[in-house]
Amino acid sequence: MRIIYGINEARRTLFARRPVGSGDLPPAVRARIADVFGEALEPEAVVRRIVADVRARGDAAVTYYNAALDGLTSGAGALIVSKDEIAAAYGKVEDGLAETLRFAADRIRRYHEQQRAHAATTFMEGGIGQLVRPLERVGVYVPGTAVVYPSSVLMTALPARVAGVGEVIMASPAGPDGHVSPIKLVAADVAGVDVVVNAGGAQAVAALAYGTASVPAVDKICGPGGLFVTLAKRAVYGDVGIDSLYGPSETIVVADDSADPMLCAADMLAQAEHDELATPLLVTTSAALAEAVGWEVERQLALLPRAAVARAAFDARGGAAVVATLEEAMTLANEYAAEHLCLLLRDPQAALPLVRNAGGVFVGEISPESLGDYTAGPSHVMPTGGSARFASPLGVHDFLKVTSVVGVDAAGLRANGPAAARLARYEGFVAHARSIELRLEGGERP
């Protein structure tokens, strides 16, 4: 594991964000693109073509790209997963797993019920206020084929349900057998998903955004995905709402000389095993700890089934920075604005007020980030790529909207109207001014 010394060198190297983009496409993906579209295209161009085709041809285009890009042909399940298939999925998952999902769902639901109680509320004061209403229909995208993520089903659908969304549509790519994984279907049932769409990638996003004969159009699309899903969400934004644009997983462990190297390494590896593009970082005031964590990373890598993935993440984007003080460590963490920030410190509570930018903070050695991935309660769908500077984890607030209300009485009109009319006339909008002045004059005509 690389070790960098000094805050400025850390900024220049490990903590300098490097964009994830088209240059990261594997050769096999580029070959598939050329085969399907008849020419070499960059990802943005691929997404534009898919979105336009789905808007024009609906289900036929979604089915075509499921086959052409994802290889779903004979034996593939229907575009809309039937209730019978969802019910049968319970018999295809290992014993006890459905109950585990229910346990996690209860924790996630209770957290978001507390969040809903503290979210925006309807109010009226002096004739001015707001209405807060849930969205009518949302789409949640759940990635994963070779690796499936039933936890992401719960983490996206349950906040929507707690917010009061009328209908939740889930889209997820099929596995090698052409069907959405049974464990995802069980999770969807536990979370109260209304419709499951057997589609992934940009075609799924386009179907949710614009609707097809089978797929209802939604008001907002939420959830993480790979490069093509992210680009598709960006492409349809404006015609439909989106929550955020998500990238590969990233974790910063801030530690001092009291931290256990084994736990520091374990927390970094927990994110590194997600993806070769993940970012596992340590920032510490102790050079001895950095060395010990590097040794622990090597030792624990040998124990992991996904060691090759985790090692690639460490080689490309991982490492440790040794800085002079805890304040410097927190400065680096805030500048990077990571998805996950783990405080493995002698007094982690004292460092909490120093946190400015992070998707989620995990306070102390007995609060591992992995707990947050599954059963702590908050959604594990969190801002990446530095967007924690301005964005929040997925939550109830993503599924609510506010409508302003103006309902003043005559006294309110007299108190506010003259200034409003004057400003309108100054801006050259005489009709605006007259709509107020006529009321102030008691309806008299000029």
* Residue pLDDT, tens place only, 177-218: 889 999 999 999 999 999 999 999 999 999 999 999 999 999
Residue 233 near residue 138 (C-beta atoms within 8 A):
no
Least confident of 64-73, 76-85, 206-215, 428-437: 64-73
Q: Annotated catalytic residue: which of 276, 328, 339, 437?
A: 339
Question: Residue 333: what residue type?
Answer: A
Does one domain contain both 205 and 314?
no
User: Following CA atoms 389, 391, 393, 397 in sequence, which dihedral angle do they give, to the nearest 10 degrees?
Assistant: 150
Q: What is the pLDDT of residue 146?
A: 74
Does one domain contain both 48 and 190?
yes
Whether 382 is in a domain gets the answer no
Whether 385 is in a domain gets the answer no
Would residue 339 show up in a list of annotated catalytic residues for this protein?
Answer: yes
Would residue 427 show up in a list of annotated catalytic residues for this protein?
Answer: no
pLDDT-derived band of residue 445, with 50, 70 and 90 as boundaries?
very low
Whether 364 is in a domain gets the answer yes
Does one domain contain both 428 and 356?
no
The whole-angstrom separation of Cα 28 and Cα 20 is 18
Does one domain contain both 203 and 293?
no
Whether 10 is in a domain gets the answer yes
Calculate mean pLDDT across residues 16-28: 73
Q: What is the CATH number of the domain that holds 371?
A: 3.40.50.1980
220 or 146: which leads in pLDDT:
220
Whether 365 is in a domain gets the answer yes
Q: Annotated catalytic residue: which of 340, 365, 369, 437?
A: 340
Whether 329 is in a domain gets the answer yes
Does one domain contain both 171 and 311?
no
Residue 398 structural domain: 21-246+391-402
The whole-angstrom separation of Cα 142 and Cα 200 is 8
